[in-house]
Structure 1
Amino acid sequence: MNRTGVILFLLTILSFTACQKGFLDQVPDDRLTMDQVFSRRDLTEQYLANIYNVVMKDPAGVTAGIPWIGASDEGDVSYDRPGYNSYKMNLGNWNASSDYYNFWTAYYQGIRSATYFMEHVGENQQILMEANGAELVKQYTGEARFLRAYAYFLLMEQYGPVVIAGDELIPGDVPGSDPRMNLPRSSFDECVNYVVAELDQAATELPDHFTTQAELDYGRATKVAAMAVKARLLLYAASPLFNGNKDYASLQNPDGKQLISQTADPNKWRRAADASKALITEGLFSLYKKYSGGNIDPLASCRDLFLDTWNTEWIFARAKSSISAWERTATPRGIAAGYSATGPTQQLVDQFEMENGQRPITGYNSDGSPIINPASGYTETGFATSAGKYHPNGVSNMFVNREPRFYVAVSYPGSYWINTSEGNKVIQTWFSGESGKKGSWDHSRTGYINRKNVSPLTNPRLSKYAERAYVVFRYGEVLLNYVEALNEIEPGHSDIMLYLNMIRERAGVPQYGSGVSPLPVPTGQAAVREAIRHERQIELAFEYLRYFDTRRWKIAEQTDNGAFWGLNVDADPPAFYRRTVFETRVFRKNYYLFPIPQSELDKDRNLVQNTGW
């Protein structure tokens, strides 16, 4: 990791292309020396902007570039050809040499470059000559510190304990035998404490909130962004994967140092709860809501919180992203020239509640058939004889009277496409349908297509996209982080139902113990834990969190293993609506953490591999 020179990084960032005038779109336009970069303000700022590009992964890579949907139980990537490695992961066909989704190298490149920036930004006389020069240097240092800490967090959620490189920059010509080139991994707890301290320091150096920045600077690090990363990190650190996990008893450095604590520490849940509560008490955020006739419009609220940028729920976002690529991925093929490439699984579809707040499916029989909750009103037979509030006439009764978030997140067969500029067009994912399997790679293997975070203004067939920022941290997640941690340390605390019900009220589903047609309050810590996890699965679907949730809870051996179901995409209606296995997935215990790339192990003799790889 330390052999990647800063000059090579600079040459890499020169390949980026700018298309807007905002800070995060800047790039140098020539090959320059490092002395030049840190003698001119514009080049120093460009260097910092491109560290953002390295650390902040673009959300558009959902089909090939990132596995967090395709390799989780909530979704599927349709393609089983080279380059789409989540498919191979799901079948168990990977090892430490596969090099799938190797973010280790890139993130350490970003870490090194952030450290170099922090070391040299204070030398820039052009910046220091400004009236607010010292304040700018402080802010830029805070941004680089934030990006470095965030890169470490991203490494930790994927690989577990990592190597903390510190502030010393190792020269590029140091031989591989040098001890500085053979650093061991720090323990996970040491990594957490280091990153938390860095985020706390960055928070003192940064603007409070994006509203305190110029509009063109939206997307740069802020105090509350640092707090949000800290809150998520501490939640993960308190979870069973990293808190007293005896499956990693043998994960030790060559000197015998234990890398993951073997004793569960309940105080870690307290730290996590406190970190999330600190964001809540900042008083800067609220759940985004839209109203109709004086009442919350749950569908518009849950849909548009992603589309109406920089709203009251947004904490941190990537100001410029290739969101159009995501939208085309999640667009039907025949209707609007999309790829229909990411499909929600039937397991996820079954989790969305009915409008009365009841879960439609309570479990599965040995043959995979669902156990239907009679109180929910759900049925899998017949078709709607009239339109409902959110569904058109004629759709399968499987999709009738579901909660609003279902209609926000899932394009289901028989529904209208979200863009109606050319009239109401019906999505047909059955075999011979407009987006069906017949004659094309571009089809959903589950019979469903992701809809969340797709704008009604988007129509790839007409090359029309709603370019916008992509939210990375939002207040809804913070509330769910808080109640999860609080339930582990203070079960029964009144805040748990208070904030959980805030999420449900905005979503338009009955609340627990309050509001209209309330549901019974779950009884006991275990029941509340299950309710919170259920709420996270629905509320945060397709936001790249479910993959890590099932792993940090140590339930992926159940959720990500075995038969995965969808509709029968090899048939036309009515046989199309029969639940069908589209894939049998393999999840082994070592899959909870990614393997460290073999190429990195070959460089560093003190770098030990994750257990089981």
Structure 2
Amino acid sequence: MKKLSFLLALLSILLYSCKNQDLLDPQTSTTLNKESTFADSVLTMRFMYGIYSDVSFTFSYKRYEGIFAGTDEGAGEGWGTLSGPTQPFVMTSLGTMNPTQTTPYIDAWNIAWRNIRRSNVFLGNVKNSPLKPATQELTMAEVRFLRAWYYAILLRNFGGVPLIGDKLFEPSDDLNIPRNTYAECVSYIISELDAIANVLPIEHLPQNYGRITKGACLGLKARVLLYAASPLFNGGGVSGNPELKALTSYPDFNPDRWKQAADAAEAVIKLNKYMLMEDNVTAPGYGFSRVFLTRVNTEYVLPGMLAPNKTLENRLLPPSRGNNTVESMPTQNLAEAFGMIDGKPIVDGGPIAKSPMYAATDPFKNRDPRFNYTFIYNETPWYNNTTGKKDPIFTYDGAARDGYNVVKNSTGYFWRKMMSDNSAQNGGSNTDRCFPLIRYAEILLAYAEAKNEMGDVNTAYEQLKLIRKRAGILPGADGLYGLTAGLSKDDMRKVIQNEYRVEFAYEDHRYFDVRRWKIAPFTQNQTIYAMKITKTGNTYTYAKVVATPSGNANHVFVESNYLFPIPQTEINRDKSLVQNPGY
């Protein structure tokens, strides 16, 4: 573990860098030549760790370098305080993306291609290294996974892309490379994962924690196949042009794709390696909170490695905990997706009846315990460096430091998820966390979703009960953890979709989920709301209000935004590339 963290810290001396260059360009510069790099076992391994170093580059707040905002703000989960019209999350929120304004998506294109090239350099040269044959075989499998991971990022963001295999381009090569179809890209990624799954270990030695395992390989396969089975890609492409449709989805619907996704998720389950991190004894849902604050745990299928840090605490906690500028805050829209501790929602109209426990006059009481570990809300206790103990954070209108009228663009909430209440920007301890790139809860929900779409609603019930039990939701007299008995497939689908929203808030899922489900026109054409609390004496009054500034509060979804555009510079450079529909 320490060894990996050390190696990941050596990014300043990475051997190959394609940044700010055409990533299919054969003339990419190097700081050391291939011969000297792969003649040395330490440099060879360091090169591989360089490919690892970008594995979490799209995750949540990390997606846009320099600002703490990402797809969460574009999906209405978060409210970015940097509200200019060219901010990437504003463009994804307001439907103003275009191929020339690249900030919302350029890193997803450039960094993925950079690492695909790095992977090919490694795979083409590692056999010349002094590494032992067994180590060569293992590292090649790891790098093939990483290459598949970066291709999967491209596929999720852009649809079909050029598949270059193991090719390393030379100056004389023809660089006009057409896009492969969506089906071809899925097939390639799955074939790569299948080829290496049995080479990869179930787990590495403790000092190598964070390196790719068989579970990570099967987990990525499950995710790719789940997306491929989903309405947007399973024959539901948004273009009537046959060529464009083939580039961005399968041409026709095939229900068997749901079975493929279910089988892939089940393969991870059958490894008997992973389990939900559960602790409802310390406090309801406490295990859910510990997942993100425990480096080595039973739930991480693929962790994105980090050294102990206070990165989130430094940028997202309220001013009273040391931050002058809070760059993202959760929305009331997201808060309303969380139900009560009885597992029932706080609103009417869905497949599960509204909870009798909810009271609008005391909206934070008896909520789904995941609510308490996702949001900082009025009177949440948190480490205070001034007093050295946990004091309440006050968010009501008029509160001195963190009040609704004081914090710029306040939503009445601050993020808590993935953060430690023993830490603040101006004091406390570092947090021992990793990025949850793939965790076991995703596998269980993917299995539930795929099985439900196959008509096996009972299996979906069982997976949701596991998720909700770990969350600290009460089982109820019927043992259904708030679920209504006898749900239809359509109603269960709605429940599953909301469970994704609650379980994976602020984890880079929602933006892509609503698109793959093709519900974005209904969920993303929305007004963003805040919670404004006023205090009279010792009494609080709660009001749902439009978030400010109001010009960005009315989110817009346009059909072209199901996928990101391919950068216009790439279209101009490679005349064989075809732009995505609507751009």
Corresponding position of 1:348: 334
Question: Is the Cα–Cα contact under 8 Å of residues 187 and 258 in structure 1 kept in the other structure?
Answer: yes
1: CA distance between counterparts of 2:154 and 2:184?
Answer: 14
Distance in 1 between the 2:562 and 2:510 partners?
A: 13
Aligned to 2:395: 429
Asked if 1:94 corresponds to 2:94, the answer is no
Say which is worse superposed, 592-601 or 336-345, in terms of deviation: 336-345
Q: Equivalent residues in 2 for 1:100-179 (5 A)?
A: 100=103, 101-102=105-106, 103-124=108-129, 126-127=130-131, 133-171=132-170, 173-174=171-172, 178=174
TM-fit CA distance, 1:22: 3.8
Does 1:186 find its partner at 2:150?
Answer: no
Q: Which of 455, 469, 491 lines up with 1:527 in the alignment?
A: 491
Partner residue, 1:67: 70
Once residues 295 and 482 of structure 2 are traced to their aligned partners in structure 1, the CA distance between those partners, rounded to angstroms, is 32
Shift of residue 411, structure 1, vs aligned partner = 0.8
Aligned pairs for 1:261-410 within 5 A: 261-292=250-281, 297-320=283-306, 324-337=310-323, 339-362=325-348, 375-381=355-361, 397-410=362-375
> CA separation in 2, counterparts of 1:429 and 1:221?
42
- Call closer, same or farther: CA 1:446–1:161 in 2, change over 3 Å: same
Shift of 1:29: 8.0
1:316 deviates by 1.2
Given the superposition, is the C-alpha separation of residues 258 and 121 from structure 1 closer, same or farther in structure 2, using an over 3 Å criterion? Answer: closer
Separation in 2, partners of 1:347, 1:321:
33
> Is the aligned partner of 1:608 residue 2:582?
no
The alpha-carbon deviation at position 33 of structure 1 amounts to 1.8
2:240 to 221, 233, 249: 249
**Partners of 2:314 and 2:425 within 8 A in 1:** yes
Q: CA RMSD in A?
A: 2.8
| Cα distance, 1:479–1:587 mapped onto 2, change above 3 Å | same
Residues 454-487 of structure 1 show CA distances to partners (whole Å, capped at 9, x for unaligned) of: 0123121126421432221111110000010011
Superposed displacement of residue 362, structure 1: 2.1
SS at match of 2:310: helix
Alignment TM-score, normalising by the size of structure 1: 0.84
CA distance in 2, matches of 1:54, 1:217: 17
- 2:14 & 2:474 partners in 1: Cα distance? 56
Distance change (3 Å), C-alpha of 1:155 and 1:322: farther
Q: State how far apart, in whole Å, the 2-side matches of 1:444 and 1:275 are.
A: 43
2:561 is equivalent to residue 591 of structure 1: yes
* Distance in 1 (alpha carbons) for counterparts of 2:195 and 2:477: 41
Deviations 1:68-124 (A, max 9, x none): 211112222122148742023312333110012312122111101101110110101
- Deviations for 1:189-247, whole angstroms, at most 9, x for unmatched residues? 111110011111222322222xxx23231111111111111111110110011011152
1:40 CA drift (Å)? 0.3
Q: CA deviation at 1:422?
A: 2.5
Matches within 5 A, 1:546-585: 546-568=510-532, 577-582=542-547, 583-585=553-555
Q: Following superposition of structure 1 onto structure 2, how do residues 44-55 of structure 1 map, counting pairs within 5 Å?
A: 44-55=44-55
Q: Tell me if structure 1 keeps the 8 A contact 2:85–2:91.
A: no
Give the gaps of 5 or more residues in structure 2: 16-30, 548-552
1:24 alignment partner in structure 2: 8
Q: 1:195 to 1:418 in 2, by over 3 A?
A: farther
How many matched pairs? 551
- 1:24 maps to a residue whose letter is L
- Structure 2 CA distance for partners of 1:319 and 1:375, relative to 1, 3 Å: closer
Shift of 1:20: 7.4
Aligned-pair identity in percent equals 30
Contact 1:303–1:453 (CA under 8 A) maintained in structure 2: yes
1: distance between equivalents of 2:179 and 2:199? 28
3-state secondary structure, aligned to 1:413: coil
Deviation at 1:561, TM superposition (A): 1.0
Question: SS at the partner of 1:416?
Answer: strand
Q: Please name the residue that 1:414 is paired with.
A: 379
8 A contact 1:323–1:470 mirrored in 2 = no
Specify whether residues 357 and 518 from structure 1 end up closer, same or farther in structure 2 by C-alpha distance, changes over 3 A only. Answer: closer
SS across alignment from 1:541:
coil
Cα separation, 2, equivalents of 1:608 and 1:288: 45
Does the aligned pair in 1 maintain the 2:319–2:325 contact within 8 Å? yes
Q: Secondary structure at the match of 1:580?
A: strand
**Corresponding residue number in structure 1 for 2:448:** 483
Aligned AA (1:275)? A
Distance 2:53 2:341 in 1: 41
Local SS of the residue matching 2:164: coil
* CA apart distance, 1:58: 6.7
Q: TM-score, normalised by structure 2?
A: 0.88
Q: Secondary structure at the match of 1:607?
A: coil
Ranges in structure 1 where 5+ consecutive residues have no aligned partner: 1-17, 128-132, 365-371, 382-396
Are the aligned partners of 1:497 and 1:512 in contact in 2 as well (CA < 8 Å)? no
For residue 567 of structure 1, report the CA deviation from its aligned partner.
Answer: 2.1
Change (3 A) 1:453 1:475: same
Query: Is 1:445 the counterpart of 2:410 in the alignment?
Result: yes
Task: Summarize the Cα distance change of 1:99–1:513 in structure 2 as closer, same or farther, 3 Å threshold.
Answer: farther
Shift of 1:138: 0.3
